[in-house]
């Protein structure tokens, strides 16, 4: 089984977005050197603690800083964009850095109503998601006779993925014959039902001849159990702040979460983050292996948007010690040098 990494590019108040963006390059390079399969970014807007809003722009920067690892979106929130523009952006990435980009698509706007309006979109745009996905796919396979051409997307192999946390995405991915990702790292309730629906209803396509499921989990490894649990309080606080309607910069970790959350909030966070594996490699290995044996995904994508960048880097460095994943173990490579850099 392959393992990949999902990054929200967390912003620390004292550091700011610039440091967060450069930290993303450090994480992507670490993921590549450790042997992870993919490094994905998620589109969010109007959230002070997340710097991955201009997803395709940041992916271009990361393409210049890596050479082997697959890069992509987990995902682009398609209701926020015209399919033609998304095809042009990801076609440009493929033209610049080779066909190592994935285009994961989500149906939710990934923001609030006021920001949706600022994007010049309406909530009704999400209702066209199936049609927009097919239109987007068509731009990559269009012929020279097509009336509208997405240049330079035409002819490039950019795999399309469907993301979801309900049965809708599972059904759509199955119907279109596309790989499917379930957001169990924050919405685990329908995980097994969605995976079953996808696998049972999958129809082979030009992109994929059999179902391929990737599931998401929170993973934070450390040398000591208590260190991992301490740093993970940043994630727990972030969920509390979000549910209180006060999204914030990534909070600093605390020794005692009982000074932060109410009993009801504690229960809510534990439910939302139930697919989380936090601790030293010995303790995490058994729990994670049981989860993988139960769900039987084709790939696992993990995330850990905590306050301390060194803790995030070290967590990735410890992944090989789990001995649970098929890693791309070629020798570490230097950062890719773009044409612009060489000039």
The pLDDT value recorded for residue 115 is 78
Confidence of residue 116 (pLDDT cuts 50, 70, 90): confident
Instruction: Count Cβ atoms within 10 A of the Cβ of residue 95 and give its class: 0-12 exposed, 13-18 middle, 19 or more buried.
Output: middle
**What CATH fold (topology level) applies to the domain 2-322?**
TIM Barrel (3.20.20)
Q: How many residues does the chain have?
A: 343
Average pLDDT on 169-180 reads: 98
pTM of the model: 0.93
In angstroms, rounded to a whole number, what is the distance separating the alpha carbons of residues 50 and 21? Answer: 10
Domain boundaries, the chain: 2-322
Average pLDDT on 100-129 reads: 82
Cα torsion angle, 229, 8, 18, 64, sign: positive
């Amino acid at each position: 089984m392959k393992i990949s990494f999902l990054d929200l590019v967390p912003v620390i108040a004292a550091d700011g977005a610039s440091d967060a963006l450069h930290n993303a390059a450090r994480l992507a390079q670490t993921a590549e050197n450790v042997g992870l399969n993919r490094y994905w970014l998620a589109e969010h807007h109007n959230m002070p603690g997340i710097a991955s809003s201009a997803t395709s722009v940041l992916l271009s920067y990361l393409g210049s800083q890596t050479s082997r690892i697959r890069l992509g979106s987990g995902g682009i929130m398609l209701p926020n964009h015209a399919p033609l523009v998304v095809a042009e952006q990801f076609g440009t990435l493929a033209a610049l850095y080779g066909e190592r980009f994935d285009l994961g698509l989500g149906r939710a706007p990934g923001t609030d109503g006021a920001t949706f309006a600022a994007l010049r979109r309406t909530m009704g745009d999400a209702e066209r998601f199936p049609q927009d996905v097919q239109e987007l796919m068509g731009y990559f396979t269009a012929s020279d006779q097509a009336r509208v051409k997405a240049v330079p997307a035409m002819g490039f192999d950019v795999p399309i993925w469907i993301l979801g946390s309900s049965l809708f995405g599972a059904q759509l991915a199955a119907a279109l014959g596309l790989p499917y990702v379930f957001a169990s790292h924050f919405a685990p309730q329908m995980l097994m039902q969605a995976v079953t629906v996808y696998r049972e209803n999958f129809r082979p396509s030009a992109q994929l001849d059999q179902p391929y499921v990737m599931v998401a989990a929170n993973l934070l490894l450390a040398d000591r159990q208590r260190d991992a649990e301490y740093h993970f309080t940043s994630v727990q606080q972030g969920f509390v702040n979000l549910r209180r309607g006060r999204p914030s910069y990534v909070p600093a970790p605390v020794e005692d979460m009982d000074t932060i959350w109410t009993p009801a909030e504690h229960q809510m966070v534990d439910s939302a983050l139930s697919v989380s594996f936090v601790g030293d490699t010995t303790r995490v290995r058994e729990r994670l292996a049981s989860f993988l044996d139960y769900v039987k995904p084709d790939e696992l994508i993990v995330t850990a948007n905590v306050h301390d960048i060194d803790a995030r880097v070290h967590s990735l460095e410890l992944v090989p010690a789990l001995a649970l994943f098929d890693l791309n173990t070629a020798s570490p490579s230097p950062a890719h040098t773009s044409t612009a850099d060489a000039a």
